[in-house]
Amino acid sequence: MPDIILATLNARYAHSAFGLRYLMANLGELQSRARLLESDLGHNSLDIAESILIRKPVIVGLGVYIWNAQQSLRLVADLKRIAPQLLIVLGGPEISHETEQQELAALADYVITGEGDLAFGDLCRQLLSGQRPPQKIIAPSPPDLGAIQLPYDLYDENDIAHRVIYVEASRGCPFECDFCLSALDARVRAVPLERFLPTMQKLLDRGARHFKFVDRTFNLNISTSLAILRFFLDRCRPGLFLHCEIIPDRLPAELCQLIRQFPAGALQFEVGIQTFNESVAARISRRQDNAKAEDNLRFLRSQSSVHIHADLIAGLPGEDIDSFAAGFDRLVALGPQEIQLGILKRLRGAPIARHDRQWRMVYSPQPPYEVLSTSEIDFPTMQRIRRFASYWDMICNSGHFLATAPLIWAGGSPFRSFMTLSDWLFAREGRTHAIALPRLARLIFDYLTTQAKRDPKQVAEALSSDGRAVGRRHAPEFPGAAEGAGPPSSGSRGLRRQSRHHAQ
């Protein structure tokens, strides 16, 4: 039986606990006395408690994040009721700030704030030797990324076959955007390439093909970015997929030249635009050359095969609905395959809280702490935006309606036009989830032909084209539709979703 259980609740099964693997890799001689125990949000807390307690550990280390905070509270409360002698150590970004205000922290024996790669092992050594450190909150200094053990050998064959493989070449961010926890530490530390690249080779040799870089600024150090991308390009095989978060206004010529060489489906860039309103950007300490960012997005769309996932945040202090709509339309015009319309979150510890009084920022007290209203956007409007985001993801980001979606805003504002559709859909369905794709296609047809007054034949042909493009084989269900295709049917997300954007 292990003395140490490292546990967390991932958002879904396909995710893997990167932080826990770092802790395990740096346990040293204690590694043989520890086990990883990953669950996800679909598991019942009592079942997770049972799976922990049946192994009779002395210590449980639990990773706490914004997506699992409430379930973690239930789990820890259950564990302490059933086995009060169990030593519970918490870590992770959600528990690292405003710790004294959290019921979860009060239930635990110890809390490690910040990066616990080495601190967790040090604490376990003390506890297993019978020592009880007097301080409950442990705040270690960030470790040297050139010295700590890397976790990649701890991805097993099941992880490689079925889960996202998270990797990192650096930690930290030089920018100080108020909405982000990275604003608290502007230092950027890199894993030496002579250590990092051999570990990537080992993963490739074991069959890994899908890599998600968690670096906040993948293209901050251009020489490092070039070296990593060249490494993967030299080994590019069918099925290789790299996801990287990039700084939108930083793509020099040598990086562009390399990016051009990747085949379709191999690169996905997460591009954080967040806002085009320069006054709002200055207010939240966000530095970004919008003109350069636009040029770079145009390059990526016209001269590369990169799949672009662009982020925009609604509810930033001082931004009203007109400003946000203008920014959204500006982003749509640049043609990213996906636009994630995020609602501002007040992450624990993030400096965004300094704007609360002036801009009357009201947030939900429950994770994920989304803004409910501001001085510029009232609650009903924020609810409409929230529904808009869900329907946009369902219709436009999914890749199921590539030909049909532009008909929604043809000749008008994409934001205003899609908001009208969103309001109509919610009035009809009363929900923003669990709408089967055939029904969604019929709803879009009804809206475009009866409300937007589009030509029924044009709409039917667009929907049929979408069905054919993603390989759907259904009888036509719309007047004027071509033979051999009908509305899209359900399908899985992830890389299949990305591939739909390359179908046309």
Domain membership flag for residue 151: no
Q: Which two tokens stand for residue 320?
A: 């009203």
Last residue of a domain, one of 316, 346, 377: 377
**What's the rounded mean pLDDT across residues 345-363?**
96
Is 215 in the same domain as 114? no
Q: Quick one: pLDDT band at residue 454, thresholds 50, 70, 90?
A: very high
pLDDT at 2 over 90: yes
Name, in order, each residue with C-beta under 8 angstroms of 212's C-beta and a sequence gap of 6 or more.
164, 165, 166, 167, 242, 243
Same domain assignment for residues 407 and 456: yes
| Residue 373 φ/ψ, nearest 5 degrees | -165, 160
CA–CA gap between residue 246 and residue 292 (Å, rounded): 13
**How many domains does the chain divide into?**
3
Q: Do 265 and 179 fall within a single domain?
A: yes
pLDDT tens per residue across span 403-433: 999 999 999 999 999 999 999 999 999 999 9
In a domain, 149, yes or no: no
The mean pLDDT value for 363-378 works out to 97
Query: Does residue 298 share a domain with residue 186?
Result: yes
CATH of the domain at 270: 3.80.30.20
Burial class (CB in 10 A: 0-12, 13-18, 19+), 302: exposed
* Domain identity same for 373 and 491: no
Tell me: do 231 and 317 sit in the same domain: yes
Name the residue type at position 356: D
Same domain as 435, residue 311 = no
The verdict on residue 147 lying in a domain is no
Tell me the CATH number at 108: 3.40.50.2300
**Alpha carbon distance 260, 142 (integer Å):** 36
Task: Kindly state whether residue 467 falls inside one of the protein's structural domains.
Answer: yes
Phi, psi of 5 (to 5 degrees): -110, 125
Q: What is the per-residue pLDDT for 435?
A: 94
Query: Closest Cα to residue 89, out of 118, 63, 115?
Result: 63
* Within-domain flag for 357: yes
- Radius of gyration in angstroms for the set of CA atoms belonging to the chain, rounded to a whole number: 24
**pLDDT (0 to 100) of residue 491:** 44
User: Do 346 and 426 lie in a common domain?
Assistant: no
- Classify residue 426 by burial, with Cβ atoms within 10 Å: 0-12, 13-18, 19+: middle
Residue 324's domain comprises 164-377
Q: Would residue 145 count as lying in a domain?
A: no
Q: How many Cβ atoms sit within 10 Å of the Cβ of residue 278?
A: 11
Interval 244-280: pLDDT, tens: 999 999 999 999 999 999 999 999 999 999 999 999 9
320 and 422 in a single domain? The answer is no
Average pLDDT score over residue span 181-190: 85
Tell me if the pTM is above 0.85. yes
Are residues 303 and 441 both part of a single domain? Answer: no
Is 107 contained in some domain? yes
Output DSSP code: residue 487. S
d(CA 292, CA 297): 9
In which band, very low, low, confident or very high, does the pLDDT at 151 lie, cut at 50, 70 and 90? very high
C-beta separation of 335 from 301 below 8 A: yes
In terms of domains, do 25 and 86 share one? Answer: yes
* 486 has pLDDT over 60: no
Residue 235 lies in a domain: yes
Instruction: Tell whether the model's pLDDT for residue 378 goes beyond 50.
Output: yes
CA distance 292 to 351: 27
112 and 181, same structural domain? no
- 342 token code pair: 């995020």
